A and B are shown apart, each in its own frame.
Chain A
Amino acid sequence: MTVFWQLVLNGLMLGGLFAIISVGLTLIFGIIRLVNFAHGELLMVGMYATFLLTTQLGVHPYALAPPVVLLLFVVGVLIQRFILQPLLEARDHHVQIFATVGLSTALINLALLLFGADIHSTPAYGARTSLTLGPFRILTGHVVMFVAGILVVAGLHVFLQRTYLGRAIRATAQHRHAAQLMGIDINRIYIITFGIGAACVGLAATLVAPMYPVSPTVGTYFVLTAFVVVVLGGMGSLHGAFIGALIIGLVDSLSGYYIAPDLKEVVIFAIFILILLVRPTGLFGLGRGSE
Chain B
Amino acid sequence: MLRLERVSAGYGRVTILHNISIEVNQGEVVTIVGANGAGKTTTLRTIAGLVRPTEGSITFDGKDIGRLPAHEVVDLGITLIPEGRQLFPHMTVRENLLMGAYTPRARGEVDQTLDFAFSLFPRVKEKLDQHAGSLSGGEQQMVAIARGLMAKPKLLLFDEPSLGLAPIIVKQVFETIDKIVATGVTVLIVEQNVFHTLSIADRGYVLENGEITMTDTGAALLKNDHVRRAYLGI
Contact = CB atoms under 8 A, between A and B. Distances in A.
- Same complex: yes
Given A182-B74, A183-B151, A185-B71, A177 B100 contact: no
B152 to A, nearest CB: 11
Contact of A181 (B70, B91, B95, B106): B70
B89 A181 contact: no
A178 B102 CA distance: 12
Interface residues on B, range: 20 to 34
Interface string A161-176: 0001001101100110
A287 B133 CA distance: 11
B89 A168 contact: no
Contacts of B71: 180, 182-186
Interface in A125-180: 164, 167-168, 170-171, 174-175, 177-180
B74 A178 contact: no
Nearest to B76: A183
Interface bracket on A: 20 to 34
Given A167-B91, A180-B50, A175 B102 contact: no
A286 interface: yes
A2 interface: no
Contacts of A56: none
B86 A181 contact: yes
A167 B98 contact: yes
Interface of B: 48-50, 69-71, 74-75, 79-80, 82, 86-91, 95, 98-100, 102-103, 106-107, 133, 147, 151
Given A174-B91, A175-B88, A183-B75, 14 more contacts: A167-B99, A170-B91, A174-B89, A174-B90, A175-B89, A177-B82, A178-B82, A180-B50, A180-B71, A181-B80, A183-B103, A184-B71, A185-B69, A290-B86
Query: What 5 A-B pairs have minimum CB-CB distances, sorted nearest first?
Result: A183-B74, A178-B86, A183-B103, A180-B70, A174-B88
